[in-house]
Structure 1
Amino acid sequence: MTPDAFQALIAKVTATIAGKPVDASLAAFLNERFPPGSAEFDDIAAACKQAVADGWMCEREHGGIKYGRVIKPCDAIHGFSVDVVEMGDVVGPQHAHPNGEIDMIMPLDGAPKFDGHGAGWFVYGPGTVHKPTVAGGRAYVLYLLPQGAIEFTR
């Protein structure tokens, strides 16, 4: 798995959501179109595992969370950025989503829930704030951020 091949996988998803409102209806669409167990979902999850093993994804660590920005916002993925974190039974730093946040939750061990949601897609709308939390196991969470916008708060 290379960064370019990973970007091509993500582009298949972002092509279908470009221009759609970042809201609960988007989460429903993603869970229908790219559900856990689908080829696309499983390919992205496998790519994340391989990229972490290869050392170019989740290469940083702080407070028990491995993380990293994988792709900066660009036209190839319709203006989204991609961040991936590996979390297990931990609360992350509070942050705001000026343009929203689209989360792909990929369980690794146990029965993890990201902010109360299991495997699949969850969407925070524009202007929302949260402390990302994984409980009940360990998961990768992939974040699509429109224009890469995120603001860490206290």
Structure 2
Amino acid sequence: MTVADFRREIQALTGELAGRPLDAALDAWLNAHHGPGSATYAALKAACEQGVAEGWLCEREGGGLRYGRVFDAAEDLAGFSVDVVDMCDIAGPHHVHPAGEIDLVMPQEGDDARFDGRPAGWLVCPPGSAHRPTVSQGRALVLYLLPGGRIEFTRRGAAPKDPA
């Protein structure tokens, strides 16, 4: 798996997401069609694990997290950016999703790791949502798709900045 191969894997998925609202219906659809047990989930999980092992994913480290933006938002990715974070029993920095966020949760050590309380699979956060991303009960890789690459880091409890 090369970075170019990984981009093609992501393109196949984001092509199916283009123009869809980031809501509970998309969350259910992703888990039904591309969730654990699917070829898409297996391919993305294997690619992320290989990328981390080879050092082209999660190349940065800080605050107990390994992370990195793999691809900036691009037309061939239906306008999504792609980030991958490696987390183990930790909460990341509070942030707002001005245009929403789609997360793929891939537990690494046992099947019990949770991301914001969710097990392996997809989590769709609607536009305007915010959280302090938290992995509990083990280690997980989390792939983030951000429309337009938009994310706003905040101080926990502080009012989010106006995205305009």
Matched AA of 2:141:
Y
What is the TM-score with the length of structure 2 in the denominator? 0.92
- Aligned residue number for residue 158 of structure 2: none
Q: Distance in 2 between matches of 1:127 and 1:121?
A: 18
Aligned residue pairs total 154
Per-residue CA distance 1:21-64 (angstroms, 9 max, x = gap): 01111110100110112111100100001111111100001111
1:135 is paired with a residue whose SS is: strand
- Aligned residue number for residue 49 of structure 1: 49
- Structure 1 residue 2 displacement after superposition: 1.2
Matched AA of 1:38:
S
Q: Distance in 1 between matches of 2:70 and 2:37?
A: 23
- Aligned residue number for residue 145 of structure 1: 146
Per-residue CA distance 1:64-122 (angstroms, 9 max, x = gap): 11000001111111100000000010010000000000000001013111001000000
- Structure (1/2) with the larger strand percentage: 1
1:126 is paired with a residue whose SS is: coil
- Aligned residue number for residue 34 of structure 2: 34
- Aligned residue number for residue 23 of structure 1: 23
Q: Distance in 1 between matches of 2:72 and 2:21?
A: 21
- Aligned residue number for residue 78 of structure 1: 78
Unaligned runs of 5+ in 1: none
Q: Distance in 2 between matches of 1:94 and 1:116?
A: 16
Q: Distance in 1 between matches of 2:114 and 2:56?
A: 25
Give percent identity, aligned residues only: 55
RMSD across aligned C-alpha pairs, in angstroms?
0.7
1:94 aligns with 2:99: no
Q: Please identify runs of 4+ aligned residues in structure 1 that moved more than 6 A.
A: none
1:109 is paired with a residue whose SS is: coil
- Aligned residue number for residue 68 of structure 1: 68
Greater gyration radius: 2
